[in-house]
């Protein structure tokens, strides 16, 4: 079988044998990579030691000494917990941002193909105006030029029954459990959601088997609500309403959406939505025209054509590039530092500024973003595989 | 096919070469490390070592590290000249060792760069509103000279906010630069006094100022001298300097002064005594106007001006001339003159002398005897 590649001739000497060279080349490359990593690691630790700087992660258990706003971090909170708060904040802005950017992006993308002149031109204007300006500029614009001047200062807060709004934060009332039991409620919520998903899955299976309409969304939602309601009554957790109130300069209670958070969120959503809109438009246009015409011939309404014929096919084209936008949004959230939102990057930089070792801290930040990105990739890849055409290989 | 193989072969050779060089350069830092352990000086290479005075004299100019962005302390004017309180101390050192106050090369440095620049010998002396702390003295390879400016952290509010003391700020939001000692001091204050302050941190002063102007935070905290500098430049449409009030309370000690490299005690002494001379001159009533031909019967004053019983007096500090004090005072004036020229009550900063007054006037400035 070796002879088949060399066409029956004698085997070349070792140093000219492609198969040997290939193996040697790969081994050399592997050694080189390992040696390079080992060298830069050694270099780093040597230089840190020669400057009497710590090389380990022991500092993580020491107190951070600073406060992170809108969190329970105090000066005695260990650094690892402070960084975790930053991770939570990054998650909060990325997760909400991804959902909102998708919804707005899809609407604008469909809008660009609308028959209505105003909607079509308006969507085009949005896309062209927004995507051609860097996201950092948008974030600073929404924070410094929109939220801060438009919202009143804290002394003149707009106060309603369920909210207090000023340019520090918009605080809204939220449910609270005065006598404990929040954990029980979260668990109950999880069980209810799982039950809803299970019922929706069962309805889908039934639909496949019998051909009867599944109505899985309604069934799933109702199940979740019923399960939660029953569990709530059984558990007997005391739930009250936590209303925000202003006392002097401070607003207490409720759930605070700080202006830096809103600035980052709106900036990321508006910017990413413009990119998603273009992906949606391109994907819809990529669906063969015959599909649209066939749907029309079946007398489907405009909505039905979109919902049942065009979008499911466009979705297959849409998912990989949109996943890329999700990754971009998550990574761009590190620009939060520009407007003082305490995301993981801002927290890590503060920790460095207080004399903690930079290499370790930056490594932590890199690991966090890597973990976020790989998680998003994993789920979008999973989804992508699910919706691909089945039966071809 | 042939060329491909050659590419592959040369790639392998290259890889092995790199590997070898990687291994050999791995030894590099180790050698450096032993050298560092052997020597007392952190910046051991070349001109950084030992005799800074000789280096400065040979070069003919003094390289002085400053901030360059703080009005009143060191700030570039329209012509690009650096002026201010810190800049004048650079000139004073140049006048003392080179006889020429203009033989200064200013190096503008950020907070992160400053100690590296000093350790590496890029600058001869660092006069950049740098707070003297134990860690900096101990771990940054730095020696601090006599404090030129006793500063403290303060809080600034808008005049119409109705806040007149710390207690009025209960529950307020305070704007502060992130990753600074100022932020840590603020946290300590808030927790110690139960003020429940929320810090709103920013990376740079521009965003911070915009947030403060728009009332996102009720107070701005920093060193009082820096707050005064911001106040003096506050835009008129926001109420101008009069629209702001710096609270009386001082929440930390920030002694600012010149810094030299560890391991060159002669040079450190020289910088130290230049500062002392400006203070001593004010105490003696010697100023820029009367220093030339200043005559006094007091032997203390005569010694200070380089004369003792008709002969030259040299305490052996290492200054090239016995009349260096005259050179310094005629170049920049005494402490009071430097202060009043750049940051005093008649300047836009309008800072009262306070702690920065002579000990005889209730301040902290106290010069050791020159004898």
CB contacts under 8 A, B 239-278 vs A, are none
pLDDT of res. A243:
87
Does the beta carbon of B295 lie under 8 angstroms from any beta carbon of chain A? no
Question: Which residues of chain A have a CB within 8 Å of the CB of B184?
Answer: 65-66, 75, 354
Q: What is the mean pLDDT of residues B182-210?
A: 89
Cβ contact B61:B214 at 8 Å = no
Strands B173-177 and B149-151 come out as unpaired
Q: What is the mean pLDDT of residues A143-151?
A: 92
Distance from CA of A380 to the nearest CA of B (A): 35
Does the beta carbon of B195 lie under 8 angstroms from any beta carbon of chain A? no
Q: What is the DSSP string of A194-257?
A: HHHHHHHHHHHHHHHHH-----HHHHHHHHHHHHHHHHHHHHT---EEE--EEETTEEESSEEE
Contact A340 B188 (CB under 8 A): no
pLDDT tens digits, residue range A21-80? 899 999 999 999 999 999 998 888 887 777 666 778 888 998 888 889 888 898 889 999
Residue B233's pLDDT band, with cuts at 50, 70 and 90, is confident
Lowest mean pLDDT among A375-389, B19-33, B58-72, B332-346: B19-33
What's the CA gap between A286 and A280, in Å, rounded?
10
Does pLDDT of A144 surpass 60?
Answer: yes
Contact B5 A247 (CB under 8 A): no
Residue B10's pLDDT band, with cuts at 50, 70 and 90, is low
Residue B1's pLDDT band, with cuts at 50, 70 and 90, is very low
What's the CA gap between A106 and A273, in Å, rounded?
8
Contact A350 B178 (CB under 8 A): yes
Residue B175's closest CA among B237, B129, B222, B239?
B222
pLDDT of res. B24:
42
What's the CA gap between B351 and B247, in Å, rounded?
13
pLDDT of res. A236:
79
Q: What is the mean pLDDT of residues B48-55?
A: 77
Checking ipTM against 0.95, whether it exceeds it is no
Does the beta carbon of B19 lie under 8 angstroms from any beta carbon of chain A? yes
Asked whether the whole model's pTM tops 0.90, one would answer: no
pLDDT of res. A54:
72
What's the CA gap between A94 and A330, in Å, rounded?
5
In chain A, the percentage of residues whose pLDDT exceeds 90 is 55
Residue A8's pLDDT band, with cuts at 50, 70 and 90, is low
CA distances (Å), origin B188, targets A114, B182, B196: 59, 10, 11
Lowest mean pLDDT among A21-30, A98-107, A274-283, B109-118: B109-118
Does pLDDT of B58 surpass 70?
Answer: yes
Count CB atoms within 10 A of the CB of residue A132. Answer: 8
> Among partner residues B9, B173, B191, which is closest to A75 by beta-carbon distance?
B191
Contact A148 B29 (CB under 8 A): no
**Would residue B197 be called left, alpha or beta, if left means φ above 0 and alpha means ψ between -120 and 50 degrees?**
beta
Contact A339 B207 (CB under 8 A): yes
Distance from CA of A228 to the nearest CA of B (A): 37
Q: What is the DSSP string of B93-140?
A: HHHHHHS-TT-EEEEE--TTHHHHHHHTTS-SEE-SS-B--HHHHHHS
Find the radius of gyration of the CA atoms of chain A.
28
Does the beta carbon of B170 lie under 8 angstroms from any beta carbon of chain A? yes
Cβ contact B249:B189 at 8 Å = no
pLDDT tens digits, residue range B114-150? 887 888 789 999 998 888 888 778 777 789 999 999 9
Residue A253's pLDDT band, with cuts at 50, 70 and 90, is confident
Residue of chain A nearest B176, judged by CA positions:
A340
Residue A339's closest CA among B243, B190, B214, B161?
B214
């Amino acid at each position: 079988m070796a002879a088949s590649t060399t066409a029956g001739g004698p085997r070349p000497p070792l140093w000219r044998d492609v198969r040997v060279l290939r193996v040697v080349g790969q081994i050399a490359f592997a050694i080189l990579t390992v040696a390079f990593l080992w060298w830069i690691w050694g270099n780093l630790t040597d230089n840190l030691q020669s400057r009497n700087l710590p090389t380990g992660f022991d500092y993580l258990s020491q107190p951070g000494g600073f406060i992170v706003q809108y969190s329970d971090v105090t000066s005695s909170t260990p650094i690892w917990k402070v960084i975790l708060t930053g991770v939570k904040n990054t998650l909060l802005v990325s997760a909400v941002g991804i959902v909102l950017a998708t919804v707005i992006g899809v609407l604008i993308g469909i809008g660009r193909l609308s028959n209505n002149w105003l909607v079509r031109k308006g969507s085009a204007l949005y896309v062209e105006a927004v995507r051609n300006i860097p996201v950092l500029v948008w974030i600073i614009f929404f924070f410094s030029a929109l939220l801060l001047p438009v919202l009143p200062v804290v002394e003149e807060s707009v106060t309603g029954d369920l909210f207090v709004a000023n340019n520090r934060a918009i605080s809204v009332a939220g449910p609270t459990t005065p006598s404990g039991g929040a954990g029980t409620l979260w668990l109950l919520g999880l069980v209810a959601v799982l039950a809803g998903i299970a019922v929706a899955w069962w309805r889908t299976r039934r639909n496949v088997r019998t051909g009867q309409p599944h109505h899985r969304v309604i069934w799933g939602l109702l199940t979740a609500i019923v399960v939660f309601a029953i569990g709530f009554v059984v558990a007997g957790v005391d739930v009250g309403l936590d209303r925000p109130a202003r006392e002097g300069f401070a607003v207490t209670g409720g759930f605070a959406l700080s202006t830096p958070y809103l600035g980052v969120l709106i900036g990321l959503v508006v910017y990413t939505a413009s990119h998603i809109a273009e992906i949606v438009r391109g994907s819809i246009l990529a669906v063969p025209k015959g599909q649209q015409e066939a749907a029309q011939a079946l007398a489907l309404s405009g909505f039905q054509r979109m919902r049942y014929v065009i979008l499911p096919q466009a979705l297959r084209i849409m998912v990989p590039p949109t996943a890329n936008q999700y990754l971009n949004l998550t990574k761009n959230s590190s620009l939060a530092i520009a407007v003082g939102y305490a995301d993981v990057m801002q927290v890590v930089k503060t920790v460095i500024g207080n004399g903690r070792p930079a290499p370790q801290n930056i490594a932590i930040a890199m690991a966090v973003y890597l973990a976020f990105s790989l998680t998003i990739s994993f789920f979008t890849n999973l989804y992508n595989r699910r919706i691909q055409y089945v039966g071809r290989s | 096919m042939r060329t491909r193989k050659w590419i592959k072969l040369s790639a392998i050779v290259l890889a092995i070469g790199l590997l070898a060089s990687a291994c050999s350069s791995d030894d590099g830092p180790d050698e450096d490390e032993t050298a560092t352990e052997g020597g007392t000086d952190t910046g051991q290479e070349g001109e950084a070592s030992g005799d800074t005075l000789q280096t400065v004299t040979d070069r003919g100019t003094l390289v002085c590290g400053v901030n360059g962005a703080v009005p009143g302390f060191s700030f570039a004017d329209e012509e690009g000249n650096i002026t201010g309180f810190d800049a004048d101390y650079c000139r004073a050192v140049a006048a003392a060792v080179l006889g020429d106050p203009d033989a200064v090369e200013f190096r503008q440095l950020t907070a992160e760069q400053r100690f590296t620049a000093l350790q590496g010998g890029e600058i001869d002396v660092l006069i950049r509103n740098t707070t003297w702390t134990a860690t900096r003295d101990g771990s940054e390879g730095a020696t601090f000279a006599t404090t030129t400016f006793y500063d403290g952290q303060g809080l600034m509010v808008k005049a119409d906010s109705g806040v007149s003391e710390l207690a009025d700020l209960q529950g307020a939001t305070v704007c502060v630069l992130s990753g600074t000692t100022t932020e840590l001091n603020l946290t300590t204050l808030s927790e110690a006094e139960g003020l429940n302050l929320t810090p709103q941190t920013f990376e740079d002063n521009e965003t911070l100022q915009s947030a403060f102007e728009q009332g996102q935070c009720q107070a701005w905290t920093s060193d009082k001298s820096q707050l005064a500098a911001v106040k003096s430049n506050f835009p008129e449409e926001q109420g101008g300097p009069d629209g702001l009030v710096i609270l009386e309370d001082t929440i930390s000690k920030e002694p600012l002064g010149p810094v030299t490299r560890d391991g060159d005690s002669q040079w450190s002494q020289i910088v130290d005594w230049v500062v002392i001379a400006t203070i001593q001159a004010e105490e003696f009533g010697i100023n820029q106007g009367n220093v030339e031909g200043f005559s006094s019967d007091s032997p203390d004053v005569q010694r200070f001006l380089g004369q003792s019983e008709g002969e030259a007096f040299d305490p052996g500090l290492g200054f090239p001339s016995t009349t260096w004090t005259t050179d310094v005072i005629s170049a920049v004036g005494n402490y009071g003159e430097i202060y009043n020229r750049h940051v005093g009550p008649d300047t836009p900063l309008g800072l009262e002398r306070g702690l920065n007054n002579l000990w005889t006037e209730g301040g902290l400035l106290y010069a050791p005897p020159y004898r």
